[in-house]
A and B are shown apart, each in its own frame.
Chain A
């Protein structure tokens, strides 16, 4: 479990993280989402014990990072931003060093080592020097290091940054597989990642928590939530008729591909009515879709609203 309690960090006059209160339970993958410079990494660094909070505190599995830093660190696996590691070491040497520092029992250590190496597909590159590795491989070494001691809490700062689509997929599978009994906190600025991984999202900007909800709840805030879009030949004719349906708020036509989007009034269901209308008009609909809402739009809306205004 990760809890932060009015966690605050100032750099001189700048408040990087401002009274952030979060809570993530076992089984949850909480995504910290925010524009660059929002304070995601700073918050994580405080939870990891690298930075001291200016005020407030954080707890990892109940261990206060200020009062019991070592117990908190023992329960935590952490992938820092950019996955730093010792460039002159080989992957094997690096992982062995990490196990030694963590004081893992020898038998457990060997078993975990093999397991982690297999999971992250590092078998063939174990003897390579980390300094010569590609960005993606280094990221995987960083992940290996973070899960080596089988921690109940995992904190990953931009875990898929710099990976190709295949590697992204395998890292997401890995996180997904580990999520069941663990608490996982990831930071990202990729919205697709939120969809693929997180069952809760905390949006922060300027160090403040602006939204804390499930991805579906966030999508529901979108203008597109419940909207119906379709492509049809000669759809221009039906535009006015669609707009006359009482539960429809507005109709937009994409000037490029002619795709029509029908927006509902106050989130009322409109799919059936739109479909019925299209049938009566005998329009040849090539494809029709009920929109879930667009996270990128919600993200923009939340993070660019004027300072002080809370969602």
Chain B
């Protein structure tokens, strides 16, 4: 276990010694604010909640999370430090977990830093803070799923740009597949059960459910299963690359 925490600490620390963390935080916080107030009609809705704020998160993560995860493994491979890391007495899954937790903790820190918007809405009205907390949990879980996907893409290549594009593409598909337009498009082509399954795969659907304040076990299972599956895939990819 010391291996996991040591790797997690080093990764998290490395975000903050390079400009990555600060650029990310500034863009994330500014964009979250701008999108909420302008695109999300925060004032005009006349409701004291953070629904428009959380609605923007999938689209923010779509662009920003791949930027965080693209380097995790690709850079390690390109600079040769992967060889060093794998000569240490940590298993591949411990290393994957350590790096994942670091990125997840980092997004968590960013989410905590959005607290002014929570203060604002509490100042303006009387929102249900339980729903808001659920919204944060849902957003963080969704970020975890995106990070796990990004981790897997980063293990597959030594090019950070390829990792970025692949991650964004897969996340975009997972966001889209729950949209009614997409499901309608497949309506005639595939049986309804497949359509239903496709809809259940959607990240946005599960995140929105949690954001409404309902912590349904199915949604939690969905996110944890997504994270575990993609991290397991990362371990498999890294192990496969040892043999060829």
- A70-B89, A73-B88 known; A100 vs B82 contact (CB < 8 Å): no
Tell me if B39 is interfacial: C-beta within 8 Å of chain A. no
B90 near A84 with CB under 8 A, answer no
The contact string, 1 if C-beta is below 8 Å from chain B, for chain A 63-91, is 00000011101101010111011111100
Q: Which of B2-10, B138-146, B182-190 binds A? A: B2-10
A251 to chain B, nearest CB (A): 52
Which of A54, A76, A85, A88 is the one whose CB lies under 8 Å from B87? Answer: A76
Establish whether residues A48 and B79, one from each chain, have CB atoms under 8 Å apart when the complex forms.
no
Cα distance A291–B199 in the bound complex, in angstroms? 82
A49 adjacent to B86 (CB under 8 Å): yes
A interface residue numbers (CB < 8 A to B) = 11, 45, 48-52, 54, 69-71, 73-74, 76, 78, 80-82, 84-89, 93, 97-98, 100-103, 145
B83 at the A interface (CB under 8 A): yes
B positions within 8 Å CB-CB of A: 2-3, 5-7, 9-10, 13-14, 17-18, 79-84, 86-91, 239, 242-244
Given A78-B87, A100-B6: A87 in contact with B82 (beta carbons within 8 A): no
Nearest-Cβ distance from residue A120 to partner chain B, whole angstroms: 17
Contact A48 B83 (CB under 8 A): yes
Q: Select which of B5, B18, B87 is within 8 A of A49 by beta carbon.
A: B87
A50 to chain B: which residues have CB within 8 Å?
Answer: 82-83, 86-87, 242
Q: List 23 A-B contacts (CB under 8 A).
A: A48-B87, A49-B86, A49-B87, A50-B86, A50-B87, A51-B242, A52-B242, A54-B243, A70-B90, A73-B87, A73-B88, A73-B89, A78-B84, A84-B84, A86-B81, A87-B79, A88-B14, A88-B17, A100-B6, A101-B88, A102-B88, A102-B89, A103-B3
Residues of B within 8 A of A48 (CB): 83, 86-87
Nearest B residue to A69 by beta-carbon distance?
B91
Give Cα distance in the complex from A76 to B84, angstroms: 12
For B14, the closest partner residue in chain A by CB is A88
Q: How many A-B residue pairs have CB under 8 A?
A: 76
Q: How far is the CA of A52 from the CA of B241 in the complex (A)?
A: 9
List A contacts of B6 (CB < 8 A).
Answer: 97, 100-101, 103
| B79 nearest CB across to chain A (Å) | 6
The reply to whether A85 and B88 form a contact with Cβ atoms under 8 Å apart is no
Q: How far is the CA of A49 from the CA of B82 in the complex (A)?
A: 11
Q: Is B18's CB under 8 angstroms from A88's CB?
A: yes
Contact A74/B89 with A101-B2, A101-B7 known, Cβ cut-off 8 Å: yes
- Cβ contact of A84, chosen from B13, B80, B91, cutoff 8 A: B80
Among A74, A80, A98, A145, point to the contact of B83 (Cβ < 8 A). Answer: A80
Nearest CB of chain A from residue B148's CB, rounded to whole Å: 22
Inter-chain contacts of A70 with B (CB < 8 A): 89-91
Q: How far is the CA of A61 from the CA of B239 in the complex (A)?
A: 24
Q: Is the CB of B2 within 8 A of A84?
A: no
Contacts of A102 in B (CB 8 A): 88-89
Across the interface, A101 reaches (CB within 8 A) one of B3, B80, B83, namely B3
Tell me how far the C-beta of B64 lies from the nearest C-beta in chain A, rounded to whole angstroms: 21
Q: Which residues of chain A come closer than 8 Å to B7, judged between CB atoms?
A: 101
| CB of A188, distance to nearest CB on chain B (Å) | 18
| Chain B contacts for A93, CB-based, 8 A | 13
Q: How far is the CA of A71 from the CA of B88 in the complex (A)?
A: 10
Given contacts A86-B14, A98-B88, 9 further A-B contacts (CB under 8 A): A11-B244, A45-B83, A48-B83, A54-B243, A71-B89, A73-B89, A82-B80, A84-B81, A103-B3
